[in-house]
Amino acid sequence: MLSVSNLCKTYGDRRAVDGVSFNVQRGQTVGLLGPNGAGKSTTVGMICGLVRSDSGSVTLDGEPVGQGNNAAKRKIGLVPQDLALYDDLSALENLKLFGALYGLKGEPLKKRCAEVLELVRLSDRANDKPATFSGGMKRRLNIAAALLHDPQLLILDEPTVGVDPQSRNAIFDTLEALKAQGRSLIYTSHYMEEVERLADHIVIIDHGKVLADESPTALYQRLPAQAALRAELTEADAASAPAVADAIARLPGVTSAKAHGSVLDIGLSGTEHATSVVCWLQEQGHKLAHFATARTNLEDIFLTLTGRSLRD
């Protein structure tokens, strides 16, 4: 549905976006990831027609998305990272204002406001001002405003910054409902677990270039599967954890073993050795409060592709 082709943008002598290309299919959720300064926000700005590209193109359903008012832009909804709400207006008045900017009025506007408030679970607070809302409620109202004109593509830029776990789950429920309706989503976040939950395709960019453009399954295959075991000793055995780790490190099939308080992080040459390590612990009289195997996750892949250096 959305085609982003060879987008470039330079500010002075800095190449912020350097040939970014990817597609979004109808009903697909694409996670757009990158470190600070990678070019994500500039890319999103060009997709929405808010930033003029130096070269490249963006089309939605075959129509070009560019500057000014055009049909393709009206098919896009943007949820910015910075809240775009008027605190001195009620939630409903905010929505009526934004709806009017899209040309909605009368009964269609009233009906659409009610629908989006219901979707984000704020119907009972329609007449309250955002100044009285929690951070999570403001974020949900921000999403409602972006949905008023019934866009085909919703772009969300860090939509869960500063919200509590309950509000985060409410936002996830809303986005999953939108996806079930056939809407396409682009989701940017620094929370890898959110992208793992929501996205069925992932684009990673850094230094303005695309480093990965594939499904989560394909991304996981870039790194060898982790063979690891995390074992937590009971409180009574916690003091002996460093000595236990040293002993485990000498067992067959163990590549590393470190103690962090009462927790043992054990690297294995193969998953088949996990059982023998657990049996050895029990034979030595060590009781386990908990143990679990580990696997490659999106954060491991992200750090492998973009590096571990701190970014501004």
HEC string for the chain: CEEEEEEEEEECCEEEEEEEEEEECCCCEEEEECCCCCCHHHHHHHHHCCCCCCEEEEEECCEECCCCCCCCHHHEEEECCCCCCCCCCCHHHHHHHHHHHCCCCHHHHHHHHHHHHHHCCCHHHCCCCHHHCCHHHHHHHHHHHHHCCCCCEEEEECCCCCCCHHHHHHHHHHHHHHHHCCCEEEEECCCHHHHHHHCCEEEEEECCEEEEEECHHHHHCCCCCCCEEEEEECHHHHHHHHHHHHHHCCCCCEEEEEEECCEEEEEECCHHHHHHHHHHHHHCCCCEEEEEEECCCHHHHHHHHHCCCCCC
Nearest CA to 201 among 212, 216, 221?
216
pLDDT on residue 297:
74
Report which residue type is found at 162: G
Q: How far apart are CA 219 and CA 202, in angstroms?
A: 8
Could you tell me the two tokens for 213?
Answer: 């453009």
pTM of the model: 0.79
pLDDT of the chain, 312 residues: tens digit per residue: 999 999 999 999 999 999 999 999 999 999 999 998 899 999 999 999 999 999 999 999 999 997 776 788 889 999 998 888 999 999 999 999 999 998 999 999 999 999 999 999 999 999 999 999 999 999 999 999 999 999 999 999 999 888 888 888 989 999 999 999 899 999 998 888 889 889 999 999 999 999 999 998 888 877 666 677 888 988 878 888 999 999 999 999 998 888 888 888 888 888 788 899 999 999 998 888 888 876 667 877 888 888 766 566
Domains and CATH numbers, the chain: 2-220 (3.40.50.300), 228-295 (3.30.70.100)
Q: How far apart are CA 135 and CA 133, in angstroms?
A: 7
Residue reference for tokens 């008045």: 93
Residues contacting residue 107 through CB under 8 Å, at least 6 positions apart: none
pLDDT on residue 225:
60
Q: How far apart are CA 105 and CA 137, in angstroms?
A: 25
